[in-house]
Structure 1
Amino acid sequence: MKVEQKDRELIQAARETIDRNFDLVNERHTVGAAVRCKNGNIYTGVNLYSIHGSCAEFIAIGAAITAGEREFETIVAARTSSEGGVLLPPCGNCREMLVRYAPDIEVLMESDNGAEKFSIQELIPRH
């Protein structure tokens, strides 16, 4: 799917979030995520390191839900832009969470052509 200006703004929000919170010294925060709701509101999050860990996508979706949001449009996760700003695909755990909480969400991630948008349904294995 085509990446639009609002998608580039969402990518920038994820990059700014991790740039503000990056902590490689203590190995705490290395990924930032941003989710845009269908009403245009954007929520962000960073990953949390612990024995169980929490991906940045979980934190961003959790922040949106805490604020009362229930309809999600697009999500993106990024490493710090000082490392090139790589867009990351969601892990299997995040994919499962997104299917449950946002079955129609689109995911921005890197492809051979740069940033590209995929339906979460395209990213789930089928039997």
Structure 2
Amino acid sequence: MNGISNDRLIASAQAVLNPRTVPGYGGATRRMGQVGSTLVTEAGNLYSGVCIDTGSGTGFCAEHAAIAAMVTAGENKIIKIVAVWRNDKGVLCVLPPCGRCREFIRQMDPANLDTEVVLSQASSARLRELLPHTEWPSHLD
């Protein structure tokens, strides 16, 4: 679908993985950097980020961090995106975006419905295929 290979994008996301825990409130621990994401924009730039888990629900996914870096740089069209995580055995896995991330990608630009979402080394799908309904609701009046 796009000129950048899935392997290259996966390697870029893997490079930002930095899993760690930090103390939280009430003896709980917070996890950070367990998931890494990289996206490529219409201009061909790569942006990456990691997840931040918080007990209060104010944390965010790695895709959000990568998108924030992109927006900070003045871009909004995502051509391709991936997220990766290492399981308990150290095996690298590609993660599909959660529903919140899917909608967040969509909200950045209407053209992002055609964003290529990497699902494995060999497969991907357009964002529109991963969303149940992509049209805005019609008016009842």
Shorter-chain TM range is 0.7 to 0.9
TM-score, length of structure 1 as denominator length: 0.83
Which is helix-richer, 1 or 2? 1
1:62 is aligned to: 68
Aligned counterparts of 1:76 and 1:91: Cα–Cα separation in 2:
12
2:113 is aligned to: 103
On the 8 A contact 1:75/1:107 being kept in 2, the answer is: yes
1:11-90 alignment to 2 at 5 Å? 11-18=10-17, 21-23=18-20, 27-50=31-54, 51-52=56-57, 53-80=59-86, 83-90=90-97
Aligned counterparts of 1:105 and 1:12: Cα–Cα separation in 2:
19
Largest Rg, 1 or 2: 2
My pick for the range that moved more, 77-86 or 66-75, is 77-86
Aligned counterparts of 1:118 and 1:4: Cα–Cα separation in 2:
15
Unaligned runs of 5+ in 1: none
Shift of 1:96: 0.8
Percent identity over paired residues: 35
Unaligned runs of 5+ in 2: 23-29, 135-141
Aligned residue pairs: how many? 121
Q: Cα RMSD (Å) of the superposition? A: 2.3
Q: Which structure carries more relative contact order (alpha carbon 8 Å, separation 6+)?
A: 1
